[in-house]
Structure 1
Amino acid sequence: MVAQCQNKSFNGRLVAIGCNYEPWIALLEQSGWKTHCCYDLRTADSILDEYSPCICIVDLSNNDFSLNSIALRANKTKHVKWIAVIKKEQLQTDAICQFINNFCVDYFSVPIPSNHLLETVGHQLGMLEIEASSWVEITSQHDMGLFGESKSIKQLRDMVRRVASTDVNVFLTGENGTGKELIAKSIHNLSKRKNAAFVTVNCGSLSKDDEKVAFLRTSTADLKEDGELRATGTILLDNVEELSKELQDELLNYLQAPANDTLEDDSHCDIRIVASSSSDLENAVLNGEFSKELFYRLNVFHIKVPTLRERGSDIFMLAEKFLAKFATEYSTMASTFSEDSKQLLLRYSWPGNVRELINQVKRAALLAEGNEVRAEHFDLPSKANLKQSLRNIKDEAEKDVLVAVLETHRGQVASAAKDLGVSRATMYRLLNKHNIVPDVRHYNSSFMRE
């Protein structure tokens, strides 16, 4: 079938790197494709940015380019389907095979069969359209877990898009309040299971008395017409580090079961597992608190959800979105932020991340009397309070060091001062500042007991 582009939502766009103007390019253009041939990789970078989403055919048959340079571009481009043109004997080269396997949707050996190429690029154009429409759908749902323009959130969106189309288990890590559940829902909504159930299981609420793998077997079960019980969908295991040893073993047994194995004689499971954790699960594995085998089964594709403080100007973009939402919900006039409130939002470290931002903007929307939200409408520390907090942290750290050094030198001020590299006078001043009274007798009596 010859690829036709007239009925597409966007015209077929194709970039040919290192390709001569050959008959197959002319045939593509006759079929409605907009093509661009180039030989310079820097020019290719700008063209790919402009043309994306597009098909990119790269001619590797003459070894005109560094394979590593092409691989770097293939790895960073989004919404680009790569097709390689090679000589048949190049299939004996490991690097070529690895490139094709990692980055290409197809390859052709010269001479290129024009009709076959047209069918391939036409199919890939259709796949690009599906991906593009799916991505618009997910980002138009006001999914705040993926909203923003910072580098970290763009990388997160790309990882979600890539892994959603697969069946692999996903492991989400990140601080509390970063939106891990929203990310899990996005993965589900972009997957082939989007019309099936999405179930969140709080692992901290499960006990050893729960029915074996009931949270896997029954939570997404749909009764088919023929009576067969089929469980399908996505399960988010939230706070997976809180699973008991017994349930860790049950979950591991389920994951280790052969493909299409049943949990019951009349049931069949097709469940994708997304696990999330706010703690250091690798450390828990090292300490024997979490099953090593289960960790590796869950951690097939790891996504670290960025903190709000890592997202820069996204903070203010999110705040504006939330303000519009809550102002409508609570019928208030709040619509803008004053300059001092903007500075406060950007300066604060947001230990509670997006969840804390939501609560703060909700409060501000309720308290604002006019259309402007001011700094006093937030329950956040002022600049003076932030300075005071930093001073307290510094003082506590200084006190801890003094006590530790005194203990090391068994209350001997002179030797402790020498160890710290300060004079005895400075040492006594610091001790007075923190109300520390060294008791040499205490340290000596402790020493005698030892």
Structure 2
Amino acid sequence: MAVKIGIVDDETTLRLTLQMFLEDEGYEVRSASSLEEGWNLIEAFNPQVLLLDIRLPDGNGLDALNEFKERYPLMAVMMLTAYGDAKTAVRAIKEGAFDYLTKPFELEELKITLEKWNKQQHLEKEVERYREEERRTKLVQMIGESDQMKELKGKISLISESNDTTVLIRGETGTGKELVARSIHQQSKRHAGPFVAVNCASIPADLIEIELFGREENSVKDQSNGKVGLVEWADGGTLFLDEIGDLSLDIQVKLLRFLEDKRIKRVGSVHDLEVDVRIIAATNRSLEDMIQEKEFRSDLYYRLNVVPIKLSPLRDRDEDIIMLTEHFLNEFCQQMRKDTPTLRADAKKRLLNYDWPGNVRELKNTIERIAILHQEKELAATHFDFLNPVEGQVEGSKAIDDVVFEDSFSLEDHIESIEKKYIEKAIQDSKWNITQSAKLLGISRYALQRRIEKYDIK
């Protein structure tokens, strides 16, 4: 939908010129030649931007500015005058004008001013999006009563008392690293500020610096090229850097500099910006091994690892598995407006016997599937037959007698699941040495890399 612009100016030639120019630029435009007509225009047209002349036949546009802003606070007003001076400009901005243009002005200057307004609207929407995300996740629930969870909750409480200390969260995929980071943020004095989560592995290497630190506007004619980085977005709050091990060495240097002096430099800028942000990093990789292989800086590691948190895999927290299952069941059934089924003893046994390689994330996805497909009041072990019990072996030929051919069974999916487990086991055994992993599997390094990408193995 086109942006609506209103023009209130008594100069007929200028008014028509501006209207034709702005319509060619894709804006929807209406114009008026007096304040009285301007009020009628605003009420009928509801413009998002108003170009307002100061000298009008029936009054002073600058005097009317306050009333315009009071009645239409979301409308941006840009003042136009042939009698521009510094005092008038300062008064216009102080009283709520978005900007100020002195006649005669180039149409390109107006275009740039409108682009600046468009950019500000985009930034305000982004800020609101982050705030809305924060509101939606304001109450982080840490479900579990195992010894490991009790210890974790106590540690989070202690860490939250510190406002700036960096934290490094370690744990397998799906153990809830972001959930822990959010909990630290929300219990800290920074809870009113934004929580910005970044998956370092999901951003292309050639864009990560701009995404994190921003990009400076190159010139007056290129204002739309500027970008606020995620570190700036998190000012006053917390920046969560997931998959920190995927950052390139040159970006690690810049991150280390920021951690040391709390200053960043946008790409293309010569000026430093001071930013107040707490950094919480997370990884499922061995940073110590990466340091030995010259893939991760030791000085950054020590700077991040001020307070380490190690998350236990779900298979080591039997006490929490049933509690989490019942929590997710209730949550999904409420969303679907269904009665929550109970778990029979044999169902609980099946859940406890499964190894949960995908941890809490896999458990949540499994329960969502159950909640969608089944209407029964009780859930038995047979409802979870697609979960093959793992007793130290990789799922494969030894577990074939446990396979149940349900309507939803897919041979292709089953084979891919087995292949993924073998790849993950080989990678784990070789400590992420891709060449050695490929030898263990009897495939080429290239073939292994394609499968790692296919199964999104981190």
TM-score when normalising by structure 2: 0.49
- After TM superposition, the score normalised by the length of structure 1 is 0.50
